Copies of this chain bind each other. A is one copy, B any other.
């Protein structure tokens, strides 16, 4: 997309990935692919991997190495309890923001 999307993703991409992981565990390459399918066509692979390292370091996910038939072993991430709490906070924050924005959009027309 463009610069606007890039900036908007700051702060939300983390929540998006956590939300994906809340459905079921997944590994980086898979998450990137799913994002692309969902319309986030130009999210760089490197971005996702860096984000995964970060949320692991912050203790929001657990990791398990699983061998793959095609290529190097996968690092499968799964949301843990602190991760779920963090995701809840994310939805609250997002809800507040979406409310304000929705209101502003109404006023603007």
Residue A81 is within 8 A (CB to CB) of chain B in the complex: no
Residues of B with C-beta under 8 A to A22? 108
Interface residues on A, range: 35 or more
- Chain A 16-35 near chain B by CB (<8 Å), digits 1 or 0: 10011011000000000000
Q: How far is the CA of A108 from the CA of B15 in the complex (A)?
A: 12
Instruction: Mark A residues whose CB is within 8 Å of B.
Output: 1-2, 4-12, 14-16, 19-20, 22-23, 38-40, 87, 89-91, 93-94, 96-98, 100-101, 103-105, 107-108
- Oligomeric state, in copies: 2
Question: Which residue of the partner chain, among B9, B96, B101, contacts A16 with CB atoms under 8 Å?
Answer: B101
Q: How far is the CA of A105 from the CA of B5 in the complex (A)?
A: 20
